[in-house]
Amino acid sequence: MFIVDSYSLAVIFCVITMLCWGSWGNTQKLAGKTWRYELFYWDYVIGILVFSLLLGFTLGSTGDAGRGFVEDLKQISMENYASAFAGGVIFNLSNILLSASVSMAGLTVAFPLGVGIALVLGVFVNYFGEPKGDAVILFSGVALVVLAIIFNAIAAGKMNKKGSSTNKKGILIAIIAGVLMSFFYRFVAAAMDLNNFESPTPAMATPYSAFFIFAIGIFISNFIINTIVMKKPFVGTPVSYKEYFQGKFSTHMVGVLGGAIWGLGTALSYIAAGKAGAAISYALGQGAPMIAALWGIFIWKEFKGSSRTVNILLACMFVLFISGLGAIIISGAN
């Protein structure tokens, strides 16, 4: 299988993760013009699963290092299968809540709040599960990201002075999603031998097989989680599976593309975790709110007509995010 053999390459992979995690939401926005997010989410989940298989039979089955994709799946213990699968279930619940919050509060508000909370809590969970990197510099970087989240929240509050009930509900759901999302990565990382991808410990998973099992967890749990949300939506009237199958092929493909984009970012994060460590790899990827906010501001015009104060707050948010991510990268350089 293909592995990362340098910290620099691991950082590049994590930056790509950040771009992917911060950009897949655009496909939801595109599909959302004619398509409810509950229906979009099925295509998104299918995209993740298909991409995990494609990756497993390509990069996961080439080279001399580690174990091949199929060979690895045969020898993983039930405990590690369960751990990676549970990570998929937890992620799915958190992400469908995040998708709901995006539909209510907007990309620029929901992503920085939900994913920002996931970043802060997730770094703690992953660092103490697998310590790697300078803790002082790492958590200093996280603190800067926390400040960026606060600046974004203030800016969003000023743009929504009337505080509609939908927006408030979206913010609350984003917070819940962020807390749940902070735990999924650790479950998947626990199934892998992060210290030795070249010759992984027997019964443990490689990044490729762990990602596939994780994707199965997302797909299977979606039959329960998303079905409930379809029948009891956060906003609007219930939607049916009949409506899903009546959707246009092009609309379905937008959702599948969104899943593939997110899947690419996630897979690269797991692959990079061997050199960068789970905490740093996760933290860099979760710089996604900055990317999502850029999309929301410059493409979707979610802050159109904002005051000078709001623009200053947004500028400060970006500076703090960049500084925080820089500190996170430096924390693992030595």
Contact (CB, 8 A) for 185 and 119 = no
- 230-263 pLDDT tens trace: 999 887 899 999 999 999 999 999 999 999 999 9
User: What is the CA angle 187-221-168, rounded to 5?
Assistant: 85
Task: Report the pLDDT averaged over residues 163-185.
Answer: 83
Domain count, the chain: 1
Whole-number Å distance between alpha carbons of 228 and 160: 30
Domain presence at residue 125:
yes
Task: Report the pLDDT averaged over residues 262-279.
Answer: 93
Domain presence at residue 190:
yes
Average pLDDT taken over every residue of the chain: 89
Contact (CB, 8 A) for 154 and 309 = no
pLDDT value at position 78?
97
pLDDT band, very low/low/confident/very high, at 292 (cuts 50, 70, 90): confident
Domain presence at residue 235:
yes
Contact (CB, 8 A) for 288 and 22 = yes
Domain presence at residue 189:
yes
pLDDT above 50 (res 271)? yes
pLDDT value at position 11?
93
Domain presence at residue 32:
yes
Which of 78-87, 111-120, 263-272, 302-311 has the least mean pLDDT? Answer: 111-120
Task: Report the pLDDT averaged over residues 17-25.
Answer: 89
3-state secondary structure the chain: CCCCCCHHHHHHHHHHHHHHHHHCHHHHHHHCCCCCHHHHHHHHHHHHHHHHHHHHHCHHHCCCCCCCHHHHHHHCCHHHHHHHHHHHHHHHHHHHHHHHHHHHHCHHHHHHHHHHHHHHHHHHHHHHHCCCCCHHHHHHHHHHHHHHHHHHHHHHHHHCCCCCHHHHHHHHHHHHHHHHHHHHHHHHHHCECCCCCCCCCCCCECHHHHHHHHHHHHHHHHHHHHHHHHHCCCCCCCCCHHHHHCCCHHHHHHHHHHHHHHHHHHHHHHHHHHHHCHHHHHHHHCCHHHHHHHHHHHCCCCCCCCCHHHHHHHHHHHHHHHHHHHHHHHHCCC
Range of the domain at 325: 7-332
Task: Report the pLDDT averaged over residues 65-71.
Answer: 89
pLDDT value at position 107?
61
Domain presence at residue 1:
no
- 126-164 pLDDT tens trace: 898 888 889 999 999 989 988 887 887 788 767 765 455
Domain presence at residue 2:
no
pLDDT value at position 166?
59
